[in-house]
Structure 1
Amino acid sequence: MDKQPLFWAANLKLLRTRKKISQQHLSDLLGLNRNKITAQESGKTRNPRMDDLVLISSFFKIDIDLLVKTDLSQIPETQLEELEAGKHVDLSGRHIRILPITVDHSNEENMEYVPARARAGYRSGFSDPEFIAGLPKFTLPDLPRGKTIRMFPISGDSMAPIPDGSHIIAQYLQDWSHLKNNTACVLILKGGEEEIVFKVVGNHIKQNGTLALHSLNSNYETAIINIEEVLEIWTFIGYISKEMPVGAESIKQKA
């Protein structure tokens, strides 16, 4: 397993300089030896004491997990200002999301289909139990059991050779930090013209709180979005289409 980069040293220096205070002033405020601050900022102290982590985290009002694992220099200025103000900013995608579900007469979770007519209202209704209960239900063989699965219509050619008008079957992802890099996903977005998008997603949440949205069609450029723009993530299982794949050869009748 690749070792995750740690950003404690760089983040400590960044936050101190943003407050416009010297190492000596910070050491006085925290009651720590200045040499300890210098060693931590330079990276010479590879494993800071837990007491120091807690003390510095409390002083800057930022969670230890973020201070250690997230490069704060790469997140948007507005989010960094919110963090410094003591506000909770979710950069990991692990915030609690309540997902309404429905069950059948056997108490098995239903699989819902979001038809084109309901697509425009999904962004406002995705957390409404009545809206979800009103969606059509479907079933298909060989799909994962005990998982939350929905089917979404897509439009356009950005994911060609998957045809325009296909229906994407996808599984709900609760903890976005577990999203494997370059996974095909359906994303429900807060704003913009498109409410539901289907892309190959590069996961940069831990590094800088963003996702990279890649298209299979090389004519489309990669888009970078902030994780705060995302409402839901659904990982690709398969798709249904009435069209033959692009490039399929015609079957000739035997003489």
Structure 2
Amino acid sequence: MYIALNLKFLRKRKGQSQEEMAQTLGLNRSTYSGYENEVAQPSLELLLQIAQTEKIPLETLLSKRLDQLTAKDIDAMQGAWRTEASGQQLRVLTTVVNTSNEEEIELISEKVSAGYTSGYADPTYLQELPTLRLPFLSKDRKYRAFPIAGDSMPPVVHGSYVVGEFVQDWLRLPSNTPCVVVTREDGIVFKYVQNLLQEEQVLRLSSTNPIYPPFEVAVSEILEIWRFVSYISKELPDIQLDSAALGAQMRAIQADLQAALRSQNK
């Protein structure tokens, strides 16, 4: 591995001292110096942070000598995430069509959802899925239905299906948009998205249930994004009424009625 060599190369390429590089990574200088001098090895978590900060694929950071690449190659590598995130490199989206050559909405059942990250581009996998049609959706866009598990996103409950619209350009996705995000590690997740791709090359995913903390996903881990358009559920949302407020409203209505009756009797 070329971790120490590459750390030194990246630091000098930016014209930084060890102290400045250490501060960028949230380390003290002596700890960082130990990594460059091969006295210690950075943790996997720190390596992921370095790869994300420097916009270098982790595999490249570990296994290739960056000092043997041209400046043009490194610039292209560090900008590759933007090409991917913006959809400039066309995302190949496999889909199912009916006999009228109209795209169907594939329904990913909970039973087969675990295999979606490996089968989402496989025609055989998709053709075996059930499909549905929702006539109120645009025929010019691509939709897919995903299963929801757990209690992290009320009022969408466990066992529901979220229908999402395929997002080609991730950079233009507005923050606070509910989306199905398909990642290499976590598979299918339904969350509110804070778009930090321009600033940090990550999405911050949040639940509506406050007991679940937000977490971040690096752009390199994202396979697909589907913007929420609808959901299908066998259960009505459980809306808890404030009995005290409801009682006060009823008393106010009764008082208004009594006042109206008194005015009529005069």
TM-score tier by shorter-chain length is 0.5 to 0.7
| Higher-helix-fraction structure | 2
**Aligned-pair distance for 1:180?**
1.1
- Is the counterpart of residue 84 in structure 1 residue 74 in structure 2? yes
Q: Work out which structure has the larger RCO, using CA pairs closer than 8 Å and 6 or more positions apart in sequence.
A: 1
Residue 114 of structure 1 corresponds to 108
**Aligned-pair distance for 1:176?**
1.0
CA RMSD of aligned residues (A): 2.7
Residue 243 of structure 1 corresponds to 235
Identical residues among aligned pairs (%): 35
For the residues of structure 1 that align with 2:74 and 2:102, how far apart are their CA atoms?
A: 45
SS at match of 2:111: helix
Matched letter for residue 151 of structure 2: D
- 8 A Cα contact 1:91 1:227, kept in partner: no
For the residues of structure 1 that align with 2:168 and 2:76, how far apart are their CA atoms?
A: 25
Matched letter for residue 125 of structure 1: G
Cα distance, 1:20–1:238 mapped onto 2, change above 3 Å: closer
Q: Mind listing any 5+ residue stretches in structure 1 that lack a counterpart?
A: 1-14, 23-72, 250-255
Residue 206 of structure 1 corresponds to 198
Alignment of 1:17-96 (within 5 A): 18-19=12-13, 75-77=52-54, 79=56, 84=74, 86-87=76-77, 89-91=80-82, 93=85, 94=87, 95-96=89-90
The structure 2 residue matched to 1:144, chosen from 113, 120, 138, is 138
TM-score after normalising by structure 2: 0.62
Cα distance, 1:158–1:104 mapped onto 2, change above 3 Å: same
Bigger radius of gyration among the two: 2
**Aligned-pair distance for 1:86?**
4.8
Alignment of 1:186-225 (within 5 A): 186-191=180-185, 194-225=186-217
- 8 A Cα contact 1:211 1:225, kept in partner: yes
- Is the counterpart of residue 132 in structure 1 residue 122 in structure 2? no
Deviations 1:193-240 (A, max 9, x none): x31000000111111211010111111111011011100000000111
Q: Mind listing any 5+ residue stretches in structure 2 that lack a counterpart?
A: 1-8, 17-49, 67-72, 242-266
- 8 A Cα contact 1:161 1:217, kept in partner: no
SS at match of 2:112: helix
Aligned length: 183
- Is the counterpart of residue 102 in structure 1 residue 96 in structure 2? yes
SS at match of 1:90: helix
